[in-house]
A and B are shown apart, each in its own frame.
Chain A
Amino acid sequence: MAPLLSVEGVRKSYWRGPHETVVLANVSLQVRAGEFFAVWGQRGSGKTTLAMIAAGIGAPEQGRVLFEGVDLAGRRRGHLPEGISWVRRGGELSGDFRTVLDSVAVPLLGTHSPRAARRLAGGMLKRLGVADCAQERWEDLTDGERTLVAVARALVRGPRLLVADDPTASLNVLQREEIMGLLRRAADEEDLGILVTVPDMPDMAYAHRVGSLSDGHLTVSGRPPEARGKVIEFPDQQSA
Chain B
Amino acid sequence: MSAKHAVLGLVIERPGYGYQLAQRLEERCAFWRWESSGVYGALDQLERESHVWADRTKTTASSGAGRRGPRVIYSATQRGRDFFAEWVLGASPPKPARQELDLKMLLAGGEFLPELIEQTWVQEQQCVNELQTLRSGTPASLIDATRMSWSEGAVILQRNAEIKQLQTRIEWLQEARQVMRVLLERDVGRGRR
Contacts and interface: CB of A to CB of B under 8 A. Distances in A.
Contacts of B153: 174
Nearest to A174: B145
A185 B166 CA distance: 26
Contacts of B135: 204-207, 210, 222
A219 interface: yes
Given A181-B142, A201-B167, A211 B160 contact: no
Interface residues of A, number: 27
A221 B170 CA distance: 14
B138 interface: yes
Given A42-B174, A215-B174, A178 B145 contact: yes
Nearest to B136: A222
Interface in B105-135: 121, 124-125, 127-129, 131-132, 134-135
Interface of B: 121, 124-125, 127-129, 131-132, 134-135, 138, 142-146, 153, 156-157, 159-160, 163-164, 166-167, 170-171, 174, 177
28 contacts: A42-B174, A173-B156, A173-B157, A173-B160, A174-B153, A177-B156, A178-B145, A181-B144, A181-B145, A184-B142, A201-B163, A201-B164, A201-B166, A201-B167, A202-B159, A202-B160, A202-B167, A205-B138, A205-B159, A207-B135, A210-B128, A210-B135, A211-B128, A212-B124, A214-B174, A214-B177, A221-B128, A222-B135
Given A181-B142, A221-B128, 18 more contacts: A129-B146, A174-B145, A178-B144, A185-B142, A200-B164, A200-B167, A201-B167, A205-B159, A206-B138, A210-B131, A210-B135, A212-B127, A212-B128, A219-B121, A220-B128, A221-B125, A221-B129, A221-B132
